Amino acid sequence: MRVALLLAQPMEGFTGGLMIGLAAAIMLLGLGRIAGVSGLAARATGIADSGAPRPVALAFVLGLPIGGLLVGLLTGGVIVRYPTSIMTLLVAGLLVGFGTRLGSGCTSGHGVCGLSRLSPRSIVATILFMASGFATVAIMRLGGLL
Amino acid sequence: MKRILVALLAGTLFGAGLAWSGMADPQRVQGFLDLLGDWDPTLAFVMAGALIPMAIAWPIQKRLEKPFADAHFQLPGTTKLDAKLASGAILFGIGWGIAGLCPGPAVTGLAIAPASAALFVIAMLAGMVLERMSTR
pLDDT, one tens digit per residue, over B46-79 is 999 999 999 999 999 999 999 999 999 999 988 8
Cα separation, B83 vs B85, whole angstroms: 5
Per-residue pLDDT tens digits for A104-120: 999 999 999 999 999 99
- Looking at residue B120, its amino acid is F
Inspect the interface and report whether the beta carbons of B123 and A71 lie closer than 8 Å. no
Evaluate if residue A7 carries a pLDDT over 90.
no
CB B42 within 8 A of CB B29: no
Q: Where are the domains of chain B?
A: 2-135
- Residue pair B97/A96 in contact (Cβ under 8 Å)? The answer is no
* Model pLDDT for residues B87-121, shown as the tens digit of each residue: 999 999 999 999 999 999 999 999 999 999 999 99
Confidence bin at A6 (pLDDT 50/70/90): low
State the best of A1, A31, A73 to mutate against chain B, taking most chain B CBs within 10 Å. Answer: A31
Give the torsion sign (CA, A87, A89, A90, A94). Answer: positive
CB contact under 8 A, B131 and A88: no
Residue numbers of A between 29 and 58 with CB closer than 8 Å to B = 29-35, 37-38, 41-42, 45, 47-48, 52-53, 55-57
pTM: 0.97
- Cross-chain Cβ contact A99/B130 below 8 Å: no
- Nearest C-alpha in B relative to A145: B98
Spell A25-36 as b/e; 16+ CB within 10 A means b.
Answer: bbbbbbbbbbbb
d(CA B59, CA B6): 21
The pLDDT confidence band at residue A3, using thresholds 50, 70 and 90, is: confident
Give the distance from residue B79's alpha carbon to the nearest chain A alpha carbon, in angstroms. Answer: 6
pLDDT attached to residue A2: 75
Q: Which residues 54-113 of B have a C-beta within 8 angstroms of A?
A: 54-58, 60-61, 64, 66-70, 72-76, 78-81, 84-104, 106-113
Q: What is the Cα–Cα distance from A111 to A130, expressed in whole angstroms?
A: 10
At B23 the pLDDT is 98
Q: What is the ipTM of this complex?
A: 0.97
User: Please, which residues 4-63 of chain B have a Cβ atom closer than 8 Å to chain A?
Assistant: 4-28, 30-31, 33-58, 60-61
The C-alpha atoms of residue A125 and residue A114 are separated, in whole angstroms, by 9
Shortest CA gap B29–chain A (Å): 10
Answer whether B118 touches A (CB < 8 Å): no
- Cα–Cα distance between A113 and A117 in angstroms, integer? 6
The 10 Å Cβ neighbour count of residue B55 is: 15
| In chain A, residues 122-141 whose CB comes closer than 8 Å to chain B | 124-126, 128-138, 140-141
Task: Verify whether the Cβ–Cβ distance A96 to B109 is below 8 Å.
Answer: no
Residues 6+ apart with CB under 8 A from A118: none
Strand runs (DSSP E) across chain B, as ranges? 38-39
Checking DSSP bridges between strand A2-3 and strand B38-39, what pairing results, if any?
Answer: parallel
Question: Which residue in B has a C-alpha nearest to residue A11's C-alpha?
Answer: B45
